[in-house]
Structure 1
Amino acid sequence: MWWGVWNWLLLASMFQVAEQQAKKLSCPCDTYEKCLPVNDWHDYDREIFIVTEGNSDYMQWMWESVTTVVTTGIHRTDLMCYAHAKSNKYGFIELVPDELNTSKAEFQNWLKNVTDKVEDYFADVVVFDFTKLLGNCEYAEEHVEHLLTVTHTVVNSTRHLVRPVKVACVMPWMPPCFGKECGYINNINGYCDAIILNPESYLTYCSGLMCTAQATVPLTKLIIGIDEYVTAGWPEKKIIMGIPWHGYKFKCKNYRESSFGRSVCELPKIMDGNITTDKCDFENSKEKMSLGTIHKQNPNWLVSDRNYDMVYNAPYHILRNQSNNSDVYQVWFEDVESFTAKYKIVDQFKLKGLIVYTGDDLSYTKIDIDTVFNTGMWAWMLHSVLATGTENEYKSNIYANYPAKIAGIGVGMFFLGFVLSFIIACVVFRRKKLNKPFQKDLKDTVQDEYFDEDNTL
């Protein structure tokens, strides 16, 4: 009997050694240690995610400002090895399809493909993007149970893997449950280690909105969205803010100057045959521009030659067609000033961190880009605000010829501080009232009363 037990233990030990040896042989890095999991996700630590599409030299990144790198649409073995060598987590983004039936073979095959990637990619983090499944505006009330089933199945499938993995869930900037109980958002809190506010979800075709060009992430909406998730039951320490390191060039259907000095770029609405709907056609009205491209083509936009909207807290520039003066474009983008305002929100609201879409936008090595500016943008990501809660001085001769701009920023930041203090005070006061989640939304199921598209602001 004991001989049989001894043989069984010996055989099990041999299989374990063989399995470990097989894993070492399958590791694509020069050392097996670079394939081991990076488990440094703590409640008290800030997370700085970088999204990459593989279009840049990742070795030029400021890795001391990064905790996690995630790929979208690609897998880079060399990037995984490099990230792990820097003690950073590696992962990938997986788009959850909008039509999934957990009982069908297609769903099981998709799910197995995801879990296989965790093992094959030596991933530490999986980012599930639920924005397509949820939709831009609202989901049907009868759809909630299906959403919960899909979410539970998808997330739990990663919990039982041999390789430990963290799960982050990409959600719309605002819980898509206007006028309804937000049970889905509350329940998903227990499934995901973090929630990522999708920076592309602020511009949607939802009805009832003013069809005007606007910032990719308006600061006022950002604060409201954070408050809505917290009200729905999400703790701030699990929220990760999405930051776009790019901008959009909008073609104006009509252009005018408002009485408050804001340039208003009106956009067309979506057509249904010959009928004009009440949905804004953001998708066909904009053209994406990376910050690297903007800086290469128009370096002055990022330091002086641009307008700054204090409500959206973002810069924009007006372009006119040289050959046809009637064609007007409005370009909304981000710069150090607008980033700083958003990073301060991360610090003030004690959020889990931020995710940059994408790190490729400021790592162009094949073009002549200002090294000082490129380095400055990376440096501002973590150390100047998130690590200390204060702004480090960012000095460069890039500002040497703009004393008026410096004075303008001082005045602007004074008013910004007043506006932010007012908004945050309202948020705090609102929480003390302990209203039922989304009670205010019951009054208007079409449009949230806090939307800031009013051009007279």
Structure 2
Amino acid sequence: LLPLGLVQLLGGPAVGACPCQDPRLCHPVTGTGGFEVFVFDVGKETWRSYDWSKITTVAAFGKYDPELMCYAHSKGSRVVLKGDVPLKEIVDPAKRAAWVSQQVDLAKKQYMDGINIDIEQEVNETSPEYYALTELVKETTDAFHREIPGSQVTFDVAWSPACIDKRCYNYTGIADACDFLFVMSYDEQSQIWTDCIAKANAPYLQTLVGYEEYITMGIDPGKLVMGVPWYGYDYVCQNLSQ
């Protein structure tokens, strides 16, 4: 997503007893094949209805559920942390290192297989945060790969690299630094400065243009995972324009 889950893992604090009936399910998932099916889980019991024959990674954005971790591992699927931090706090290299260490320790404690970094904060290309964010991704990837062999580190990006919602990131540097980018090909009407007109959540041609922009920047298409929305919006008509 193999050291035993009941012993101390490399370089970190002692890990508690494995919560799974089969202790082998607390081993990290080290490989899931080349085609990635990445699911965001927001808690409760929805995961019981997933098609586990297809899922390779679950990003746990809800409350940690050891039962989900055990079941996902039984199906050969990774379970990864959500990673978020105010960017002003990681400009300082020492604070950045402390954050990375905390995430690695938490992943070990919960027998997880990596981290999905979901920042979604405004960044100016000339700011200290621009460079600090790239370093954060690189240092997180290095630490996870070293401490949890086979682990996965990913980063969420907008549907286009064109400074969507003022997120002017070093996209090529971040892509090089992690395992892949998860492209959020949804909510593509986020930058609307005039009246909001009903439109698709993920317009087909607009979505394709976003991927072309990433690829034109030199990012390997194999490091781009397409995010597909499982929802839409109900636009309520406020007045007739014609």
Q: TM-score, normalised by structure 2?
A: 0.81
Which of residues 32, 45, 57 in structure 1 aligns to 2:23?
A: 32
> Matched residues in 2 for 1:112 and 1:177: separation?
30
Which of residues 98, 101, 106 in structure 1 aligns to 2:90?
A: 101
Shift of 1:51: 1.2
Which of residues 206, 213, 216 in structure 2 aligns to 1:231?
A: 216
- Could you list the runs of 5+ residues in structure 1 that have no partner in the other structure? 1-16, 258-457
Which of residues 151, 154, 158 in structure 2 aligns to 1:172?
A: 158
Shift of 1:171: 0.5
Contact 1:51 1:69 in 2 (8 A): yes
Contact 1:189 1:233 in 2 (8 A): no
> Matched residues in 2 for 1:56 and 1:162: separation?
27
1:311-332 deviation per Cα after TM superposition (whole angstroms, max 9, x unaligned): xxxxxxxxxxxxxxxxxxxxxx
> Matched residues in 1 for 2:141 and 2:7: separation?
30
Does 2:136 align with 1:150?
yes
- Give the secondary-structure state (helix, strand or coil) at the position aligned to 1:167: strand
**Alignment partner, residue 212 of structure 1:** 197
- Give the secondary-structure state (helix, strand or coil) at the position aligned to 1:168: strand
Shift of 1:150: 3.1
Shift of 1:245: 1.0
Check 1:250–1:233 CA distance in 2 against 1; reply closer, same or farther (3 A cut).
same
**Alignment partner, residue 3 of structure 2:** none
Which one has a bigger Cα radius of gyration? 1
Does 2:111 align with 1:125?
no
- Give the secondary-structure state (helix, strand or coil) at the position aligned to 1:90: strand
**Letter matched to residue 142 of structure 1:** T
1:200-259 deviation per Cα after TM superposition (whole angstroms, max 9, x unaligned): 45121354x6632322211111100000000011111111111111122234443346xx
- Give the secondary-structure state (helix, strand or coil) at the position aligned to 1:110: helix
Which of residues 39, 53, 57 in structure 2 aligns to 1:68?
A: 57
Which of residues 125, 135, 146 in structure 2 aligns to 1:141?
A: 125
**Letter matched to residue 29 of structure 2:** V
> Matched residues in 1 for 2:115 and 2:90: separation?
21
Contact 2:32 2:77 in 1 (8 A): no
Which of residues 200, 207, 214 in structure 2 aligns to 1:222?
A: 207
**Alignment partner, residue 226 of structure 2:** 241
**Letter matched to residue 255 of structure 1:** L
Shift of 1:58: 2.5
**Letter matched to residue 234 of structure 1:** I
**Alignment partner, residue 35 of structure 2:** 46
> Matched residues in 2 for 1:18 and 1:58: separation?
29
Check 1:77–1:148 CA distance in 2 against 1; reply closer, same or farther (3 A cut).
same
Does 2:68 align with 1:82?
no
Shift of 1:65: 2.3
Report the identity percentage: 24
Bigger fraction of residues in strand: 1
> Matched residues in 1 for 2:187 and 2:46: separation?
28
1:66-113 deviation per Cα after TM superposition (whole angstroms, max 9, x unaligned): 222221032110000001111111112222434333427654443332
Bigger fraction of residues in helix: 1
- Give the secondary-structure state (helix, strand or coil) at the position aligned to 1:248: coil
**Letter matched to residue 28 of structure 2:** P
- Give the secondary-structure state (helix, strand or coil) at the position aligned to 2:105: helix
Q: RMSD of the alignment, in Å?
A: 2.9
> Matched residues in 1 for 2:16 and 2:68: separation?
19
